[in-house]
Amino acid sequence: MNYLVTGGAGFIGANFVKYLLKNRQDIKLIVLDDLTYAGNLGTIKEELKNPKIAFVKGNICDPQVVETVFEKYNVDFVLNFAAESHVDRSIENPQLFLQTNILGTQNLLETAKKYWTKGKDENGYPVYREGVKYLQVSTDEVYGSLGDTGYFTEKTPLDPRSPYSASKTGADLIVTAYSETYKLPVNITRCSNNYGPYHFPEKLIPLIIKNILEGKKLPVYGDGSNVRDWLYVEDHCKAIDTVLHKGSPGEIYNIGGHNEKKNIEIVKLTLSTIRRLMEENPAYRKALKVSGNSIDWICEDLITYVKDRLGHDKRYAIDPKKITTELGWYPETKFEDGIVKTIRWYLENQDWVAEVTSGDYQHYYQQMYGNR
């Protein structure tokens, strides 16, 4: 089968490319990515040596680019990971989010409809080539924000509150519209916060790791009590693969692992884990960007509470009952193991961090966090 993976040079897309090549035989993979600041070919450089992969640099909003991909490769599945994904950036530049996330999605759907249609039924609905599917990688943020209790189910009303989540909601609605109006076979997956290798260091966990290694302050928005529901990225990849192959067309599946943590807990755990790993194995101190042998300064004094994010959603928490009971998916990585695996990966892959932050990153950091 031929998989079109958009955004395959980003965090989750790249992990999905690695997952597919490891776990599925007889596939052809076409990665379409515009290589924005968040996309890095170095992340999939080993995979790109595999003859099963083709890489196309291009924008999902460009009809010509997407048509050329469909023309050249007999695409069976579209997995749309490509997006502007960072809430803070969406507050600064909402329009780009609407373009990429909504119009890009619509362009992919339209092209898929065109190339997959093989006729019409008696009511005028398109009839599609057997076995094709479009899967939209969405987010729990479309449901808005929770109070101290309760969970997001697939029936929770949509209530996005940031430009990012509004754009992802718009994308979900256009996917649903193609399902209802044209009977295009689609699924939408809505996942909670991912963590793991290759996470760009603008997001909480990799940013905190990077700052610790540079001896910088650790910016915690507001009072640090906002809650996120964390899932190891490989578990997310497995869930997407499961939905693609077993999900009923037209259905939405929430993905999460009941792993809620306050932001401040995450920051403190990251601090104590880095320090412990460096105490147990002094070789890890090579990752430090500050001189001297002592690591006593790796402590909670580094934490600094900064101005809160505008419209900061208080709490996310996914109810994954549907995907678990209907499709048999469950998360395999316990948070205690996943976070250590992730931190070790960053300690051992400082070249990757240097590579992805060599461009615009310093400017972005200065603008967001000043001289902290």
Shortest spacing between CB 26 and ligand NAD, in angstroms: 25
**Could you tell me which of 219, 268, 225, 266 has the C-alpha nearest to residue 88?**
219
Closest residue to ligand DAU, Cβ-based? 139
- The answer to whether 135 touches 112, Cβ cutoff 8 Å, is no
Question: Do 168 and 139 touch, CB atoms closer than 8 A?
Answer: yes
Minimum CB separation of residue 204 from ligand DAU in Å reads 4
Is residue 210 within the footprint of ligand DAU (CB under 6 A)?
Answer: no
- Residue 188 in the binding site for ligand DAU (CB under 6 A): no
Residue nearest to ligand NAD (CB): 10
In the structure encoding, which two tokens stand for residue 299, read together? 């402590």
87 binds, among ligand NAD, ligand DAU, none (CB under 5 to 8 A by kind): ligand DAU
Cβ atoms of 298 and 276 within 8 Å: the answer is no
What one-letter code names the amino acid at 363?
Answer: H
Among residue numbers 306 through 335, which ones bind ligand DAU (CB under 6 A)? 309, 316
Structure tokens at 273: 């884990």
Q: Does 86 bind ligand DAU (CB under 6 A)?
A: yes
Q: Given candidates 15, 40, 167, 193, which one binds ligand DAU under the rule CB under 6 A? A: 193
Instruction: Out of 34, 84, 141, 235, pick the active-site residue.
Output: 141
In the complex, minimum distance from the CB of residue 359 to ligand NAD, in angstroms, rounded to a whole number: 12
Question: Which of ligand NAD, ligand DAU, none interacts with 333 (beta carbon under 5 to 8 A by kind)?
Answer: none
Element (H, E) at 80: strand 77-80
Q: Is 164 a catalytic residue?
A: yes
Output 56-59 pairs: Cβ under 8 A, ≥24 positions apart. Answer: 56/30, 56/31, 56/32, 57/33, 58/32, 58/33, 58/34, 59/34, 59/100, 59/104
Among candidate residues 34, 47, 140, 234, the one labeled active-site is 140
Tokens of 26: 């007889």
**Least separation in angstroms between CB 143 and ligand NAD:** 12
> Under a CB-based contact definition with an 8 Å cutoff, are residues 343 and 220 in contact?
no
> Considering only residues 227-266, where is the footprint of ligand DAU by CB under 6 A?
228, 263
Site for ligand DAU in 214-233 (CB under 6 A): 219-221, 226, 228
CA distance 143 to 166: 10
Closer residue to ligand NAD in complex, CB, 78/278: 78
Nearer to ligand NAD, 25 or 64 (CB): 64
Q: Are 34 and 58 in contact (CB under 8 A)?
A: yes
Q: Any contact of residue 192 with ligand DAU (CB under 6 A)?
A: yes
Contacts of 297 (CB under 8 A, 6+ apart): 215
| Least separation in angstroms between CB 59 and ligand NAD | 4
Q: Which two tokens stand for residue 279?
A: 């105490």
CB of 316 to ligand NAD, least distance (A): 10
Binding status of residue 105 toward ligand DAU by CB under 6 A: no
The binder of ligand DAU chosen from 87, 175, 237, 274 (CB under 6 A): 87
Residues that bind ligand NAD (CB under 6 A): 6-7, 9-13, 33-36, 38-39, 59-61, 81-85, 100, 104, 137, 139, 168, 191, 193-194, 200
Rounded to whole angstroms, how far apart are CA atoms 75 and 115?
A: 9
Residue 152: what residue type? F
- In the complex with ligand DAU, the residue whose CB is nearer, 266 or 347, is 266
**Closest by alpha carbon to 160, among 141, 136, 176?**
141
Cβ nearer to ligand NAD, comparing 200 with 253: 200
For the chain, report the end-to-end CA distance as a whole number of angstroms: 49
Cα of 74 vs its chain's centroid, Å: 26
* Size of residue set near ligand DAU by CB under 6 A: 19
If one counts every other C-beta atom within 10 angstroms of the C-beta of residue 77, the result is: 20
List, by residue number, the catalytic residues.
140-141, 164
Residues that bind ligand DAU (CB under 6 A): 85-87, 139-141, 192-193, 203-204, 207, 219-221, 226, 228, 263, 309, 316
